[in-house]
Amino acid sequence: TMVISSVVPSEELEVGDVIVFRPVSVGEKPIVHRIIEVRNTYPLTFKTQGDAYPEPDQWFVPEDNIIGKLEFSSPFLGYITNFFRSKIGLVITLVLPAVVLVLMILRYIWRELVKYIRNKPMSAS
């Protein structure tokens, strides 16, 4: 899934907003979940829950871990970007255009060569 988020001051986030945040455990990918509770502690913390999960997350997200508020999400665009990162996608986006370009140049050279041969004056023997 591809997501686009915007930076929003954590004081403006409220219950129902979908946020992108870094998990408390280091090294994991960012998580996109909905805020179900805001605790006005210092620092602010947010209880979250994934829309596809029946239970809330076991942790509170500190405001420093928030990357942004979700603005746009598209699973389809995520599939496309993952494809282009694969070996086949890399071949299609880099090698295939290069091969097409070389073939176009060879075709042009061939046409010019044929024109030259056809228009070459005959030498008298």
Compute the mean pLDDT over every residue in the chain, rounded to the nearest whole number. 86
Q: Is the pLDDT of residue 86 over 70?
A: yes
CB-CB contact of 18 with 34 (8 Å):
yes
> Which one-letter amino acid corresponds to residue 45?
T
Q: Say what the pTM is.
A: 0.60
Residue 33: which pLDDT band, with cuts at 50, 70 and 90? very high
Distance, CA of 31 to CA of 29 (rounded, Å): 6
Residues with Cβ within 8 Å of 95's Cβ and at least 6 positions away in sequence, in order, are: none
pLDDT digit string (tens) for 61-81?
Answer: 999 999 999 888 777 777 787
